[in-house]
Structure 1
Amino acid sequence: MIWGGRIFRFNLSNFRPGGGLSLRRFSVLEGAFLLMLALMASRVLGVVRQVIFNALFGVGPNANAYYAAARLPDTLYNLIAGGALISAFIPVFLAYEKEKGDSEAWRLTSLVFNLLLVLMTAVLLVGEFIAPAFVNNILIPGYSPAEKDLTITLTRIMLVQPLILGLGTVVTAILNSRRQFLLPAVSLAVYNVGLIGGLLVAKFVPGVGIYGPTYGTLVAVLLQLVVQLPGLSKQHVRYSFIWDLRHPGLRQVGILLLPNSLAIGVAYIGNIIDTHFTSYLPDSASLAALHNAEMLQALPVALIGQAVGQSLLPHLAMQAAAGRYIRMRQMALKVIGASIALTVPAALLLALFGKPMIHLLFQHGAFDPHASDLTNLALLGYACALPGLAAGNLLSGGFFALKDAWTPFITNTYALLVRWFMLYFLFQFLHGTTAILVVPLALAIAAGSEAIIMGGLLLFRLRRYIKRDKGMQRLEQRRRYLKASRKTPVQLSSDHE
């Protein structure tokens, strides 16, 4: 059974196993459906992981050190690769494939891979060197020396993660550009398997402690890479050891990647600022409580913003490359409008059922009633941020498809400044236990205002491009031809006079 048109079709037979399922090309709806299923599986496994983690470590010093240690590796990875590389690589790869053929497209892919390997290795070495100063002076200056030392050690272990993730991102970008979302979707679900394994080791092997989930993160990202390799091998990839920093395709990727990486990096700098402020909160359980609340809020954001956005980007990029701006605007409005409409009820559900959900899932072992109450309070603030975050993820895809990464960077910088200002401002009014609300409320105000600005700018941009639409130009030519053909010989003669 098939619903929708060619781009928005939904064919149930495409999901039948066998017959090269991993090689099938999916529409926007089919790709989003696959990614949503994978994200649901990933989040369910993530809840299992968090239940075990909370039961073992609660919201104590080890948990705070673990959460804080992930900040620098995550930021470095997203500055160089992450979603930034996927958004920059796909439009250029598709354009090269269409204009210059498969051979040049694979040469470009090899060059991007080689350059990324060198950059991520350099980032790993630099990160190992700066970790102590970064943790002590920027990340958690309000924590005790023992917590700082543990955070430094865990950070240095986790810094291997960006190298593996960066190489896996190239594989994901190749598969996504071919509209093959199955294996990238499976890789999302597989990630938590490694983390759960590390936690089980911590539980049953004496003396491992917090190092179990820390090394588990490295196993998790390695699994993410390995599970996508079969799909890559079926693409007839032609790897070559090419090193040409003046390659025009690399220059195009770099033009998109630089502002895109800076835009995503700005968002992660916001997380570092949040952690910095949180280290001074009177309740020592605040950082762990914020992490648990953010994890629950991240499910609807990922389902709506990430899954739909990742599926939508290749289609928007193809339409932009073909000059079909009217279709692009129609598709963007339909998908974004429907997705944003889902975030309001999702936010209400989080606010209404957050407390019993936290109690049911997390209040076991070292996770006590106080931790539950504090997590629920933080979740109320994060629920307010949900619509703006999901809308921002979707709207940025429209700019990336137009090969404009500077606008998202500018709006993200604006959001960071607003977030920073609101942290200082709200701290003047919220004290004691309620002070934890400052962090999510600052995020909500910044994300909501940024989404409104991005939406207005994208619609204005596409409206300007309508005159350049290839279909519109052909229609205008046809109208002029029909108008000229209706003229009588007398009228034609008078025109020449």
Structure 2
Amino acid sequence: MSSFRLSGGLSLRRFSVVEGAFLLMLALMTSRVLGVVRQVIFNALFGAGADANAYYAAARLPDTLYNLIAGGALIHAFIPVFLAYEKEKGETEAWRLTSLVFNLVLVLMSAVLLLGEFVAPAFVNHILVPGYTPAERDLTTTLTRIMLFQPLILGLGTVITAILNSRRQFLLPAVSLAVYNVGLIGGLIVAKLVPGVGIYGPTYGTLVAVVLQLVVQLPGLFKQNVRYSFVWNFRHPGLRQVLVLLLPNALAISVAYVGNIVDTYFVSYLPDSASLAALHNAEMLQALPAALIGQAIGQSLLPHLAVQAAGRHYIRMRQMALKVIGFSIALTLPAALLLVLLGKPTIHLLFEHGAFDPHASDLTNLALLGYAFALPGLAAGNLLSGGFFALKDAWTPFATNTYALVVRWGMLYFLFQFIHGTQAIMVVPLALAIAAGSEAVLMAILLLFRLRRYIKRDAGMQRLERRRRYQKELKQSSVQVSSNYE
């Protein structure tokens, strides 16, 4: 790629959409490859048994709490406001705003950690996996309480990622994605070599992983001449703008994670005890193309869309959004086909070792067939939501995500009436596919309608209109002078 220049210090480079997407795709690919290595080791050690199911279920509450307050929601809310503040009020005020956001995340995530530790037993027993045995529920509760430290560390790291992304510097955030799996693999190695550690090895490995993910981004943050101050002012107008965007944005993303909790609730009652582990493995394989297309391109596209929206260049914004989103959606169709055709041999080659038996392999393939149908809708929805966030509209994605959750829940009840036995595992991914596809269509219609309405407010169109009026007035003045002269 000729535009991908290596001069000038990569940690300080401002990347274009293409460069940023390429870099994030490369990092995501590396991360997913390491994730496959991690999963191969995990499956060989724990298979699809009770320990594996407890581990997968235990991650649901920490993931939901993190995404409710921080996660991608914070990045999408922070970047447009930070860029506007830096342009209008200067760097000093922009860094003051950043300090306020960091302090707020620290306090909120600490409170969430304490609350989560208190409610974990009731949540696991009555909401998450009520269909599990008492011993499995107790293990899930213990692992959940350990993993609840993960959202606090991830939340602080997300603020750093948002700062770097706002400066269009994607290298270190991309590297942090790849480094994440190193900690998890280390935990699995400990579980293999140290007797008695068992499932606690990868559980504590997740905490090591998120610490590594935060630390690797610190050099890039220091090079931005960041100025931190311990300030606390809820009346700060910039903080209020971030919170106004964050609330619906966080709710929109958390709705998707509530969907995962709903899925886990239904799966806990399935007769096949390997169902949750099989779904996790299938979702991990489907997540690779979904992340490469939706997450990498979407993350690199958002700062550019935000700059265009701030400058009221709506026509240019619509053209860029249509080109990138159209190209990205086109990529998902062959990717979904490859999942269908190559899923079974890939699962057999990668996972069918040690404690992961042929039955777990067949069950994972069934789930993957369903997830393949969900791929286009998931990737499209991720990209389309960036257009609304750039316009500082987080309520529309929240509304469409809520619509998708209702559809998903309804399809779970509906499909379970007709699909039984071993095939019942396909209900979960098929419900997701129907919900994600219909949501993507709805978001596309709403975004294009919104941008069409904004054409008259486009800065270029307004300049053109002023020029036309000026030329018209000049012509009328010339005619009037000529008439007076005659």
Question: TM-score when scaled to structure 2?
Answer: 0.98
Q: Which amino acid aligns with 2:141?
A: I
Question: Are residues 469 and 359 of structure 1, via their aligned partners in 2, closer, same or farther at CA, if it must alter by over 3 Å?
Answer: same
Residue 218 (structure 1) aligned to one of 207, 210, 213: 207
Q: Which amino acid aligns with 1:180?
A: Q
1:191 shift after superposition? 0.2
**Mean CA deviation greater in 194-203 or 481-490:** 481-490
Question: Are residues 493 and 385 of structure 1, via their aligned partners in 2, closer, same or farther at CA, if it must alter by over 3 Å?
Answer: same
Question: Are residues 56 and 492 of structure 1, via their aligned partners in 2, closer, same or farther at CA, if it must alter by over 3 Å?
Answer: farther
Residue 40 (structure 2) aligned to one of 41, 44, 51: 51
Instruction: Tell me the residue number matched to 1:334.
Output: 323
Structure 1 unmatched ranges of 5 or more: 3-10
Q: Distance in 2 between matches of 1:336 and 1:493?
A: 54
Q: Which amino acid aligns with 1:465?
A: Y
Q: Distance in 2 between matches of 1:20 and 1:475?
A: 40
Q: Distance in 2 between matches of 1:229 and 1:492?
A: 68
Q: Which amino acid aligns with 1:264?
A: I
Instruction: Tell me the residue number matched to 2:373.
Output: 384
Q: Distance in 1 between matches of 2:483 and 2:290?
A: 65
1:241 and 2:230 are equivalent in the alignment: yes
Q: Deviations over 1:244-278 (max 9, x none)?
A: 01110010000000000000110000000000000
Instruction: Tell me the residue number matched to 1:168.
Output: 157
Question: Are residues 218 and 477 of structure 1, via their aligned partners in 2, closer, same or farther at CA, if it must alter by over 3 Å?
Answer: same
1:33 and 2:29 are equivalent in the alignment: no
Instruction: Tell me the residue number matched to 2:195.
Output: 206
Instruction: Tell me the residue number matched to 2:252.
Output: 263
Instruction: Tell me the residue number matched to 2:454.
Output: 465
Q: Which amino acid aligns with 2:460?
A: G
Q: Distance in 2 between matches of 1:132 and 1:186?
A: 36
Q: Which amino acid aligns with 1:400?
A: F
Residue 368 (structure 1) aligned to one of 357, 374, 380: 357
1:486 shift after superposition? 2.8
1:184 and 2:179 are equivalent in the alignment: no
1:483 shift after superposition? 2.5
Q: Distance in 2 between matches of 1:492 and 1:211?
A: 90
1:71 and 2:60 are equivalent in the alignment: yes
1:481 shift after superposition? 1.7
Residue 101 (structure 2) aligned to one of 112, 117, 122: 112
1:64 shift after superposition? 0.1
Q: Which amino acid aligns with 2:224?
A: Q
Q: Which amino acid aligns with 1:222?
A: V
1:200 shift after superposition? 0.3
Q: Distance in 1 between matches of 2:326 and 2:468?
A: 33
1:282 shift after superposition? 1.1
1:452 and 2:441 are equivalent in the alignment: yes
Question: Are residues 342 and 492 of structure 1, via their aligned partners in 2, closer, same or farther at CA, if it must alter by over 3 Å?
Answer: farther
Instruction: Tell me the residue number matched to 2:139.
Output: 150
Aligned residue pairs, count: 484
Instruction: Tell me the residue number matched to 1:7.
Output: none
For the aligned residues, what is the CA RMSD?
Answer: 1.2
1:324 and 2:313 are equivalent in the alignment: yes
1:285 and 2:274 are equivalent in the alignment: yes
1:86 and 2:106 are equivalent in the alignment: no
Question: Are residues 230 and 488 of structure 1, via their aligned partners in 2, closer, same or farther at CA, if it must alter by over 3 Å?
Answer: closer
1:42 shift after superposition? 0.1
1:20 shift after superposition? 1.5
1:106 shift after superposition? 0.2
Q: Which amino acid aligns with 1:122?
A: A
SS in 1 for 2:190: helix
Q: Deviations over 1:351-401 (max 9, x none)?
A: 011000000000000001001100000000000000000000000000000
1:230 and 2:223 are equivalent in the alignment: no
Q: Distance in 2 between matches of 1:184 and 1:374?
A: 35
1:488 shift after superposition? 6.2
1:478 shift after superposition? 1.0
1:479 shift after superposition? 1.5
Instruction: Tell me the residue number matched to 1:349.
Output: 338
1:335 shift after superposition? 0.4
1:493 shift after superposition? 8.6
Q: Which amino acid aligns with 1:244?
A: N
Q: Deviations over 1:72-118 (max 9, x none)?
A: 00000000000000000000000000000000000000010011100
1:476 shift after superposition? 1.0
Q: Distance in 2 between matches of 1:120 and 1:242?
A: 17
Q: Distance in 2 between matches of 1:278 and 1:380?
A: 17
Q: Distance in 2 between matches of 1:491 and 1:473?
A: 27
1:480 shift after superposition? 1.7
1:21 shift after superposition? 1.1
Question: Are residues 492 and 157 of structure 1, via their aligned partners in 2, closer, same or farther at CA, if it must alter by over 3 Å?
Answer: farther
Q: Distance in 1 between matches of 2:85 and 2:354?
A: 55
Structure 2 unmatched ranges of 5 or more: none
Instruction: Tell me the residue number matched to 2:242.
Output: 253
1:492 shift after superposition? 6.6
Q: Deviations over 1:114-133 (max 9, x none)?
A: 11100000000000000000
Q: Distance in 1 between matches of 2:134 and 2:478?
A: 94
Residue 194 (structure 1) aligned to one of 183, 191, 202: 183
1:487 and 2:476 are equivalent in the alignment: yes
Question: TM-score when scaled to structure 1?
Answer: 0.96
Instruction: Tell me the residue number matched to 1:418.
Output: 407
Alignment of 1:310-321 (within 5 A): 310-321=299-310
1:137 and 2:126 are equivalent in the alignment: yes
1:482 shift after superposition? 1.9
Residue 89 (structure 2) aligned to one of 85, 100, 104: 100
